[in-house]
Amino acid sequence: MIPFNKPFLTGNETKYIEQAVASGKISGNGMFTKKCQHFFESKFGIKKALLTTSCTDALEMCALLLDVTSEDEIIIPSYTFVSTANAFALRGAKIVFADASKHHPNIDASKIEDLITKQTKAIVVVHYAGVSCDMDAIMSIAKKHDIYVVEDAAQAIDSYYKERPLGSIGHLATFSFHETKNIISGEGGLLAINDERFIERSEIIWEKGTNRSAFFRGEIDKYGWVDLGSSFLPSEVIAAFLWAQLENLESIQNKRKQLWNAYNKALKMLARAGYFKLPQIEEYASNNAHLFYIICKTNQERQALIEFLKSKDIKAVFHYLSLHKSSYYTDKHDGRVLEMTDYYADHLLRLPLFYELELNDIDYIVSQIQSFYEN
């Protein structure tokens, strides 16, 4: 069986974990935590980076930093993972779901402004498949209406908008290191703070609502409870694992891009014949090869292809369901039809893509897709 995903180990993960254990400090915010955070700050121009136990936790920190309450509205794409919305719903905010673009599963920037009201506090954008949203348009709208932008860059490490790293553009941003991502630590995430107004408070929220970080830097003589917060920082074991991955970012990305390009090239003929659509990368965006998908003509065809590939020992999967139609939020949604969100939910199919996948595996997968459509 060719799995949909297989976590890749560089070889240094257990070595660094042993070093963390031997150091006598494994509770977090130690040497490996600082190495990882400095990596994001120096390579991607993030003003302050904080490791978290998950991207979900990083999003929840965003909601706390923005002082989100039940009086606020947050604009979020409906085609995303539940964590994107849940983090703000937990603070009582009204979630205003936005539709996806006709050209890509990302949020349709041209439709955002119509959703803004006096209660709108933030726009949360998701860079689906590691491909950038139209950030100039989105930041311009946010500036005009004096609202915040949060980049959910869970899938977007080492991806760019007009040569600007994703995660460095919005006021706040989040990354994921879940085992399905390009760079992994099993579970894990990172909060990126790009607006200096949030830096000091972010450390407090990160440290359970205390000014503990300032205490350890010698800036105060004791620390206490000064704000809301939670236990968001991960252990040094997770940070050590992550550092082994970050050290190999370039080689991991190069291999994934090679595989992505092989898929794209091999499937172009079938796409031109009209069997399905391939991913579209806008000119302003780079591609970090997080995932490769095709867009089938119908939901029934997609399900038939999934079953066919399964019979050939290939695991292919669909992706998000429309959040505005979820059992939890359907009665809270304002009733707007989000046509493109539902389209991607019903038609998009993800193919296997992971570091140890080989080109001959892709040849086999493509041959089976071809057999499905042409026989």
Instruction: Read off the pLDDT of residues 298-347 as tens digits, 9 standing for 90 and up.
Output: 999 999 999 999 999 999 999 999 999 999 999 999 999 999 999 999 99
Note whether 69 and 91 are within 8 A (CB).
Answer: yes
Q: Is the pLDDT of residue 217 over 80?
A: no
Give me the helix-helix angle, 249-272 and 236-246, nearest 10°: 60
In this model, does residue 225 exceed pLDDT 90?
Answer: no
| The pTM of the whole model exceeds 0.85 | yes
Beta bridge partners of 161: 164, 285
Rounded Cα distance between 279 and 281, Å, is: 7
| Residue found under tokens 């140890």 | 356
Q: How far is CA 39 from CA 3, 54, 157, 271, 298, in A?
A: 31, 18, 12, 39, 43
> What mean pLDDT is predicted for residues 99-113?
97
pLDDT at 318: 95
Q: In whole angstroms, what is the distance from residue 355 CA to residue 253 CA?
A: 9
Q: What is the pLDDT of residue 212?
A: 81
Residue 218 has pLDDT above 90, yes or no: no
Residue 222: pLDDT band with limits 50, 70, 90: confident
> What average pLDDT does the chain have?
96
Burial class (CB in 10 A: 0-12, 13-18, 19+), 239: buried
For 232, phi and psi rounded to 5 degrees?
-90, -20
Separation between Cα atoms, residue 109 and residue 134, nearest integer Å: 7
**Has residue 348 got a pLDDT over 80?**
yes
SS3 199: helix
Among 218-222, 271-275, 291-295, the range scoring the smallest mean pLDDT is 218-222
For residues 32-44, give the mean pLDDT.
98
State the pLDDT confidence band at 143, using cuts at 50, 70 and 90.
Answer: very high
Judged against a pLDDT cut of 80, whether residue 54 lies above it is answered with yes
